[in-house]
Homo-oligomer: A and B are copies of this chain.
Amino acid sequence: MSTKVLLDESEIPRQWYNIAADLPSPLQPPLGPGGKPISPDMLAPVFPMNLIEQEVTQQRWVDIPEEILEILYLWRPSPLYRAKRLEKALGTPARIYYKNEGVSPAGSHKPNTAVPQAWYNKQFGIKRLTTETGAGQWGCALAFACSLLGLECKVYMVKVSFEQKPFRRLMMEAWGGKCSASPSSETKAGRDVLARDPNCPGSLGIAISEAVEAAVTDSSGKTRYSLGSVLNHVMLHQTIIGLEAKKQLAKIGEKKVDVVTACAGGGSNFAGVAFPFVCDKIAGADIDIIPVEPSSCPTMTRGPFAYDHGDIACMTPLLPMHTLGHTFVPPAIHAGGLRYHGMAPLVSQTIVEGLVTPRAYHQLECYEAAVMWARTEGFISAPETSHAIACVIDEARKAKEEGKEKVILMNWSGHGLMDLVGYDKYFRGQLEDFPLPEDEMQKSLAAIKDLPKPRVAKTGKW
């Protein structure tokens, strides 16, 4: 058995998988003002029509344009690894496999959707994309994609990250992206915030407002907004991960996968690896599919399935999703990409349907897992990714207890080379496990209780 399984470029999946076509109950529509369903036309000032079509399509398979593949080939098909040293260290009979998405130029899975999004915008005649970013992973991915496709890229980066974590901003600039600290004086949304609080540290909600405003107010009509997770078309683009993994497992004769896991912030990294296996599960396969989140931001394990806004400023439509309420501010864990109050509607729907079983881990056990990973598998993991590793280690130990030769598949979503400060604090004993702020959560949940309710087909929590 070799360490990794490669696919030639000729073996890359040439279609994305759209789980919307297979869900037992249909996805419910986003709702606009007055609780009315949003029509595709209403999204046209924000997104190009070809991506809006992807957002609402019920087609099971969507062709990947050749020009997109030409860029994805820079790092795709990504290698599938067998974590033999970790297996040995754990003494587990389980066979542990992981997709290495850290090999992309931006270092994570995010370019899998940044490239298609930039490409479809370009096809639609768009010259410039705007977006927001927290710690910077998504901003980097979009700047990279725009650079190779000749689009301008404007990123509003949460000011506290802009100041404390300059390196991802420098990556964006290396790719020619323009990055501003948000709140900025460039938009009305930003100026309003600054007028109230000139020292405001910013938030993802404010940055979203700025990025959307910058897109819709551009009088040339050549600017659109781009989002790195949550939406259906983002999940679609990421399924290339799981589709490749299936081919790679088949190539080495693995016929059955028992466990599939990945961390989930907005949901795209999890959906990417998991949805092709959820498809099998819908058809009857026996697979444990586990999205992993932080215990201090337990959107999937504690949040109800409800209609809620995607942003704190309530600029986005209402989406049917697991949510802690759009005013919920999670504790300052290092896995910034998992600090989101909501969850992609498609992922939420698979939870409601009982197809996937979310799990939560505390920060310290995730760092412990990541250190074990670095010292066995060699790669230094992003703090987000470490949540999936904690789950893999638990599942491998369980297989040992049960004496079962389970096959475990994980999405190793990105490297942690820009996130080393968290490791330093961990080694110095300066990290803690934040308790869930229960009162805050109840307050933010109360704030959405009068919003419209989604129907719940199978299991009801609301």
Contacts and interface: CB of A to CB of B under 8 A. Distances in A.
Interface of A: 2-4, 6, 8-10, 70-71, 73-74, 81, 85, 103, 105, 107, 144, 147-148, 166-167, 170-171, 173-176, 371, 374-380, 416-418, 420-421, 423-424, 427
Interface residue SS majority, chain A: helix
Contacts of A144: 378
Given A6-B6, A148-B378, A174-B371, 4 more contacts: A6-B8, A105-B380, A147-B375, A174-B374
20 contacts: A3-B73, A3-B74, A4-B9, A4-B73, A74-B377, A74-B378, A85-B148, A105-B380, A107-B417, A147-B378, A148-B376, A148-B378, A167-B417, A170-B420, A171-B380, A171-B420, A173-B424, A174-B380, A175-B380, A176-B375
A272 B412 CA distance: 30
Number of copies: 2
A145 to B, nearest CB: 9
Contact of A417 (B4, B8, B418): B418
Given A148-B378, A375-B148, A420-B167, A2 B9 contact: yes
Nearest to A417: B417
B421 A170 contact: yes
A243 B270 CA distance: 38
A6 to B, nearest CB: 5
A281 B369 CA distance: 50
Contacts of A371: 174
B70 A3 contact: yes
A374 B166 CA distance: 18
Given A378-B147, A378-B148, A171 B417 contact: yes
Contacts of A6: 6, 8
A178 to B, nearest CB: 11
Contact of A424 (B4, B85, B170, B421): B170
A423 B167 CA distance: 10
Contact of A375 (B8, B166, B175, B379): B175
A73 B2 contact: yes
Contacts of A167: 417, 420
Nearest to A8: B6
